[in-house]
């Protein structure tokens, strides 16, 4: 089984994907760990990524999803903001991906990001993340205002 937890920066993807992987006993991966260094450097100086920056990253993730789907499966935390990014992520993979969108207001997410320590991504880029986000009409959409445990329970009972 492949689950992709997606949404804007700071929406809780890593927190929720990690928790889901523990509960479901599936390996956890964070798409942040697959960015080329130049993407990390760009975000670290407060510049948002464009389609060109994201392409090699998405292609390498698509290859990995293909590999994971043939072994133990995975829970992947990945922004996957645009429809064409999600199409790329699923292009090598024959069966359906379980898409889980974390939805919340920019005020709530900004508050959480501003108290998060030691992360290269600050809330300065949050507006551009919301501008890029294309909300699909498929997948499970979950409200992030609740405690992570209740969000994880809700996801598990709906996938």
Ligand X SMILES: Nc1ncnc2c1ncn2[C@@H]1O[C@H](COP(=O)(O)OP(=O)(O)OP(=O)(O)O)[C@@H](O)[C@H]1O
Residues lying near ligand X in the complex (CB under 6 A): 9-15, 32, 77, 79, 112, 116, 121, 144, 147-148, 151
Q: Is 101 in the site for ligand GCO (CB under 6 A)?
A: no
CB 81 within 8 A of CB 129: yes
Sheet of 98-103, strands arranged across: 28-30, 74-77, 2-6, 98-103, 140-143
Least distance CB 64 / ligand X (angstroms): 18
User: Residue 137 gets which letter from DSSP?
Assistant: S
Report the residue number, 42 or 141, with the smaller CB distance to ligand GCO: 42
Q: Which three-class secondary structure state does DSSP give residue 76?
A: strand
Instruction: Please choose which of ligand GCO, ligand X, none residue 116 contacts, taking the beta carbon within 5 to 8 angstroms, the exact cut-off set by kind.
Output: ligand X
Report the residue number, 31 or 100, with the smaller CB distance to ligand GCO: 31
Sign of CA dihedral 59, 62, 63, 64: positive
Contacts with ligand GCO in 58-97 (CB under 6 A)? 79, 81
């Amino acid at each position: 089984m492949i689950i992709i937890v997606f949404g804007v920066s700071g929406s809780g993807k890593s927190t929720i994907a990690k928790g889901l992987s523990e509960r479901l006993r599936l390996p956890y991966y964070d798409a942040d760990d697959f960015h080329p260094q130049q993407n990390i450097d760009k975000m670290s100086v407060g510049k948002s990524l464009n389609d060109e920056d994201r392409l090699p990253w998405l292609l390498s993730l698509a290859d990995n999803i293909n590999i994971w789907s043939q072994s133990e499966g995975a829970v992947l935390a990945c922004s996957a903001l645009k429809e064409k990014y999600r199409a790329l992520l699923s292009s090598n993979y024959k069966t359906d991906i379980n898409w889980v969108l974390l939805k919340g207001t920019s005020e709530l997410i900004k508050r959480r990001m501003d108290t998060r320590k030691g992360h290269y991504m600050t809330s300065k880029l949050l507006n551009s993340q919301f501008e890029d986000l294309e909300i699909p009409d498929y997948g499970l959409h979950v409200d992030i205002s609740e405690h992570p445990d209740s969000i994880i329970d809700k996801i598990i009972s709906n996938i």
